[in-house]
Amino acid sequence: MDNAEEIKLCYPQLLNSSCRGQMRSSSEALVLYTLLSTIALLTVALNLLVIISISHFRQLHTPTNLLLLSLAVSDLLVGILVMPIEAIRFIETCWVLGQLMCALSYIVGFILTSASVGNMVLISVDRYIAICYPLLYPSKITQSRVKVSVCLCWACSVLYNGIILKGHLQQPDRHNSCYGECVVVIDYVSGTVDLVFTFITPCTVIIVLYMRVFVVAVSQARAMQSHVATVMPRKVTVTAKTSEKKAARTLGIVILVFLLCFCPYYYPSLAGQDISNSASSWGIVSWMVYFNSCLNPLIYAFFYPWFRKAIKFIVTLKILEHDSCDAKLL
């Protein structure tokens, strides 16, 4: 009797073709909705602070911060568009938002995920050139080139995921066994291609570049300890390099957290299996990926003094004062 009370039909009017959903207790559902809603709101608020800070203060209009801005936009959209729907999917065992929303929710989520991966690669390239080729950095990494790179990153993400999920968009219910499901399956071949292009290749590039950055940073630290910088102009150069290395360290932490959050998602492809959202572990794995969007601005707040100062300006409404955009944050 207890089991019968825990099972419900998603669409009672479709007795023979409706899915059966496992009912959660009201207290369990309330706790989950509160927790996941808090994560979503925190993700939106923190990334909005990053976007406002970099957009408003002129001193923060640097190529590196433009890449952080693009990453924050993708994280903000995850909090607004993806997390609320994924919370409903995780808590409610029946899909009630319709087949079109089923298709769009996954396409949007995959696009934002791929855009985040692309932004991470661009950030790694930026730090590599800044540390390893500091004299060439101002001429090679300009704001116009960064803007073009960011636009290409987003365009490629939309095009790539449109191709990967084309079948799902054309026929959203192709893998559903009954009414009340929203099942997406990426077969082994497509999953392997996705694994190579959106995980293995980008991660290899990121790791190789940061290993090179680490080696150069260590050699520069040894040079400083050996008192190589004995002339004033060289001291200025060393100070600039120290600042760049601090930025590289912070962004390295961002990338490390990113890799830890994304690795479980690609485990089925690594194990030679299809990727399906009907798997029992899908809810936890997907929320690990989405939670990365909340962690990035927390890392900025912990390691970037300029971000903490910008938050004070915003929270105290000093940002509304005349010429606040020219405030000194660095």
Q: For 94-134, how does the pLDDT look when each residue is reduced to its tens digit (9 = 90+)?
A: 777 877 888 788 889 889 988 988 998 998 899 889 888 88
CATH architecture for residues 2-326 = Up-down Bundle (1.20)
Q: For 259-288, write each residue's pLDDT tens digit.
A: 788 777 766 655 555 555 555 566 777 888
User: Residue 42: what pLDDT?
Assistant: 93
Is 190 a residue whose pLDDT tops 80?
Answer: no
State which H helix or E strand residue 316 sits in. none
Tokens for 104, please give them: 């769009």
Q: For 193-211, write each residue's pLDDT tens digit.
A: 777 888 788 888 888 888 8
Q: How far apart are CA 180 and CA 303, in angstroms?
A: 45
What SS3 class is residue 85?
helix
Is 58 a residue whose pLDDT tops 70?
Answer: yes
User: Residue 15: what pLDDT?
Assistant: 63
User: Residue 89: what pLDDT?
Assistant: 82
| Mean pLDDT score, 311-329 | 87
Is 255 a residue whose pLDDT tops 50?
Answer: yes
Share of the chain above pLDDT 70, in %: 77
What band does 238 get if pLDDT is binned at 50, 70 and 90? very low
Positive or negative CA dihedral for 89, 91, 93, 95? negative
Name the phi and psi angles at 179, rounded to 5. Answer: -75, 130
23: Cβ contacts below 8 Å, ≥ 6 apart: 5, 6, 7, 8, 93
Between residues 299 and 111, which one has the greater pLDDT? 111
What band does 142 get if pLDDT is binned at 50, 70 and 90? very high
What band does 221 get if pLDDT is binned at 50, 70 and 90? low
Computed over every residue of the chain, the mean pLDDT equals: 79
User: Residue 239: what pLDDT?
Assistant: 43
**Domain residue spans of the chain:** 2-326
70: Cβ contacts below 8 Å, ≥ 6 apart: 115, 119, 122, 150, 153, 154
